[in-house]
Structure 1
Amino acid sequence: MRYEGAIYRPPSEADSLILQVTIGCSHNKCTFCGSFKDKKFRVRKFGEIKEDIEEAKAYAKYIRKVFLADGDALILSQKRLLPILQAIKDAFPKLERIGIYGNTKSILNKSVEELKVLKDLGVGIIYLGVESGDQVVLDMVNKGTKLDDTAEAAKRVKDAGIILSVTVLLGLGGVERSAIHAEETGKFLSRIDPDYAGALSVILVPGTPLAEAVKKGTFQVPTPYQLLEELAIMIRNTNVTHTFFASNHASNYLPVKAWLPEEKEKTLKAIQYVLDRKDPALLRPEYMRAL
């Protein structure tokens, strides 16, 4: 298998074959993200991708899950994406699911009918980075999306019968917009009603505009307990049908996993327990936090 640069995948794709079909991220302008700054976005040639599929087949023909990297493989046109999906499906008879990152633009470039075609070829889950339900914060971090558009993108994924997994980012509004960011994000999660929602916490990546803003004093990262307060506000304002919510990523100080709304009150009580005691021993140590 050939990989260029660092490879990123969702935690739930830990057991998947990682197939790099694009290099880098098609947007790559978010101020908080340093994941793909060393890569210029491009699409790999189908011949190269096919060779990797055949190599994987030779060594592990019973692969059940495949994840398409890099940052936004869904940006590929149907003409380029469908042959890749078909090749994967042909190579792995035990295949259960293909996962893929998507952003608002790449999803909206496809109709519900086109997304259904992807589902028929194995795409079972799309990971969408929402980051915040506060438009002020999204503009501040140069996300390049509007909330109404993201809501429409989320709806198309669900209408196509594909699992929708979204991520949000605690601390992204800084201390100044902490409560607003948390409340509005909870409300937005309620609006799009995802199947899965994951909350990560801001970690400053050296060289990113956000890290430079902290150096200049124009952005202040919330403290660990302020981040927990954000988490509580977010969950309190999240009213969904049936969503698995997790903040157990390595970037978080307190791992939380809960089905909402079923375990909402129990989860809020657990967070409040930590907030009331402010015992550092109850938090993930700083040295163990990572992206």
Structure 2
Amino acid sequence: MHYEGAHIIRPPSEADSIILQVTVGCSHNRCTFCGTYKEERFRIKDQTIVDADLDFAAKYCLRQSRVFLADGDVLALSQSRLVELLTKIKHKLPWVNRVSLYGNARAIRNKSVDQLLELKGLGLHRVYMGLESGFDPVLVAIDKGANAAQMIEAGQRVKAANLFLSVTALLGIAGGALSQEHAKATGQVLSAMEPNQTGILTLMLLENTPLYQLEQAGKFELPDQHSLLAELRTMVEHLDLKKGQLQSNHASNYLAINARMPRDKEPVLAAIDQALAGQTRLKPEYLRAL
């Protein structure tokens, strides 16, 4: 398989997937907290290279039934290009039963429900979307490229196409002063989106990001462990989902949660309360990672 760029990332749930790189970098690439693609200029890979990778997968990846389309925002491709790509996957890898990709709010909103339905009919199953925060002042501060209303619209559009929606939120991204406002608003926005899967991560500052520079200059304060747990509690408290997975088992988190909502909401809140009271052993710093 042919890969370009310094980083090839994928969600934890795509660990066993065929990673087919279709684009390099991220079409937005301005989020102040993300350093993944800061050195990359977004570009679409040559179709002949992608075709060669499909041929490789057809020969050597017979035991892998899932495909993840990398990099940061493959959904930014034109509809015709996506239709062509998914058709080729269906033809060359007929045993594959799930195709997934990242999609930011702008890329999703640039697709109609009918277009998303067309992609679903060709094998697209799952869209991973980074919300980070549902609080508009935070979304502006981190240059996310969409406000809360646009995030909700994007999420609801994915659900309207009957695609699996996986959304991430980020503890600590609001800093200390706006921590609770961020947590409450994020829980409310997630509730409006009704994701099938909600993944909660914890901010880890990277040296190649603007947010790290703000922290070094004393203009951003990363909440302490207790404040992050309090943020998590408020976020879950305001999470009102009819059905869905809730997970905070990413390596960046101090407290791991793997729950079904709404069934497990009260047990999750009780577990967070125990952690806040110092009755639960939290993940040590040396084990935390992105």
Shorter-chain TM-score above 0.5: yes
The equivalences for 1:128-147 within 5 A come to 128-147=129-148
Equivalent residue number for residue 82 of structure 2: 81
Code of the residue aligned with 2:77 in structure 1: it is L
1:283 corresponds to: 282
Residue 112 of structure 1 corresponds to 113
1:220 maps to a residue whose letter is E
Please say if residues 97 and 123 of structure 1, whose CA atoms lie closer than 8 Å, have aligned partners that are also in contact.
yes
1:226 counterpart = 2:227: yes
What is residue 164 of structure 2 aligned with on the other side?
A: 163
Q: Give the equivalent residue in structure 1 for 2:257.
A: 256
The corresponding residue for 2:270 is 269
Q: Which runs of 5+ in 2 are unaligned?
A: none
CA distance in 1, matches of 2:63, 2:86: 16
Q: Give the distance between the partners of 2:279 and 2:140, measured in 1 at CA.
A: 33
Distance 1:231 1:150 in 2: 20
- Read off the aligned partner of 1:117 and give its amino acid letter: E
Between the aligned partners of 1:271 and 1:196, the Cα distance in structure 2 is 19
Q: CA deviation at 1:207?
A: 2.1
Distance 1:97 1:207 in 2: 34
* Aligned residue pair count: 289
- Secondary structure at the aligned position of 2:190 is classed as helix
CA RMSD of aligned residues (A): 1.0
Is the contact between residue 225 and residue 278 of structure 1 (CA under 8 Å) also seen in structure 2? no
Tell me the residue number matched to 1:103.
Answer: 104
Distance 1:185 1:83 in 2: 36
Structure-2-length-normalised TM-score: 0.98
Instruction: Kindly provide the CA deviation profile for residues 167-218 of structure 1, in whole angstroms up to 9, marking residues without a partner as x.
Output: 0000000001001100110111111111110000000000211000110001
Q: Give per-residue Cα distances to partners, 1:63-109, cap 9 Å, x unaligned.
A: 31000000000000011111111111111121110000001111111
Cα distance between partner residues in 2 of 1:62 and 1:80: 27
In structure 1, the partner of 2:194 is 193
Deviation at 1:45, TM superposition (A): 1.3
| Aligned mates of 1:38, 1:25 — CA distance in 2 | 11
SS of aligned partner of 2:241: coil
Describe the SS at the equivalent of 1:117.
helix
Contact 2:14 2:68 in 1 (8 A): yes
| 3-state SS, counterpart of residue 277 of structure 1 | coil
Deviations 1:94-144 (A, max 9, x none): 111000000111111111000011101111000010010100000001111
Deviation at 1:278, TM superposition (A): 6.2
Distance 1:115 1:151 in 2: 16
Alpha-carbon contact 2:205-2:212 (below 8 Å) kept: yes
Query: For the residues of structure 1 that align with 2:145 and 2:94, how far apart are their CA atoms?
Result: 39
1:246 and 2:247 correspond: yes
TM-score (norm. length: structure 1): 0.97
1:287 partner amino acid: Y
User: What is the one-letter code of the residue matched to 1:89?
Assistant: K
1:271 and 1:146 map into 2 onto residues whose CA distance is: 29
The residue type paired with residue 286 of structure 1 is E
- Partner of 2:37, secondary structure, is coil
Give 1:63's aligned amino acid.
Q
Native 8 Å contact 2:57 2:93 kept in 1: no
Identity %: 46
SS at match of 1:8: coil
One-letter code aligned to 1:32 = F
Letter in 1 for 2:209: T
Aligned equivalents of 2:126 and 2:256: distance in 1?
A: 23
CA contact (8 A) 1:61 1:91 kept: no
Task: Identify the residue that residue 39 of structure 2 maps to in structure 1.
Answer: 38
Runs of 4+ in 1 over 6 A off after TM superposition: none
Contact 2:16 2:64 in 1 (8 A): no
Give distance in 2, aligned partners of 1:192 and 1:177.
Answer: 22
Q: Which amino acid aligns with 2:283?
A: R
CA distance in 2, matches of 1:209, 1:60: 39
**Matching of residue 154 in structure 1 with residue 155 in structure 2:** yes
Per-residue CA deviation, residues 208-240 of structure 1 (Å, 9 max, x unaligned), is 110001100010001112111111110001011
